Structure 1
Amino acid sequence: MADEYFLLVCDDVPHDVVLSDPGVRVMDVVQVVRRLTGLSLWRSKVLATRVPAVLLAGVPEEDAAAAVSALRDAGARAETRERPEPDLPER
C-alpha cells in the first residue's frame, strides 16, 4: 500500500512563540507564561528560566503576536517564528 501525503494550504501560517530572555522581572514573566500555557506556577518558572524556550507552538499569527506583546510588557525578550513547512517525500 502506497503512502499518500496531503499538504493543507491555509491563509494563516502557524507560528511559535519563543522566549529568549526572561529579563529582570522573572516572576512577572512567570505569571504571563502561566496564563498563556495553563501550566502550574512551578512548571511555568522552570520553563521561563530555561531559555530559549518555545512557549506556544503552532498558534495563529494574531495569538502569537498578543503573547509576545504580553511577555514584552512583563520585561521579557520574546519573538514569533513561522513554523517551517514539513519535508514531504517527492512522488
Structure 2
Amino acid sequence: MADEYFLLVCDDAPHDVVLTDAGVRVMDVVQVVRRLTGLSLWRSKVLATQVPAVLLAAVPEKDAAAAVSALRDAGARAETRERPEPDFP
C-alpha cells in the first residue's frame, strides 16, 4: 500500500516567532522570553543572547503577533515568519 500525504488547507497558516536582536535591555527581554516559552531563567537568557533564535514555532498568526509585540515592548527586535508549506513527493 502506497503512502499518501494530504495537505490540509486552513485559514491561518502557522507562523514562527524569531528574535533577531535582544537590544540593550537584555534582562527585560529574557523575562518576556521566559513568559512566552516557559523555559527557566537561565535557558531563556541563553536563548535571548544567541540570536537569531526561533522562540515559538508553528503558532497562529494572532499569537505570533502578540508575542512579537511583547518582545518589541521589552526593547528587542523580533519578527514573524510564515512557515513554508511542506513539499510532499
Which TM-score band (shorter chain)?
over 0.9
TM-score (norm 2): 0.99
Runs (5+) with no aligned partner, structure 1: none
Q: Give the Å deviation of 1:59.
A: 0.3
CA-to-partner distance for each residue in 1:7-59, whole Å, 9 max, x for gaps? 11100000000000000000000000000000000000000000000000000
Number of residue-to-residue matches in the alignment: 89
Runs (5+) with no aligned partner, structure 2: none
Partners of 1:64 and 1:7 lie apart in 2 by 22
**2:20 aligned residue:** 20
Partners of 1:20 and 1:72 lie apart in 2 by 11
Identity of aligned residues (%): 92
SS in 1 for 2:7: coil
SS in 2 for 1:16: strand
RMSD: 0.4
Q: Give the Å deviation of 1:87.
A: 0.9
CA-to-partner distance for each residue in 1:36-83, whole Å, 9 max, x for gaps? 000000000000000000000000000000000000000000000000
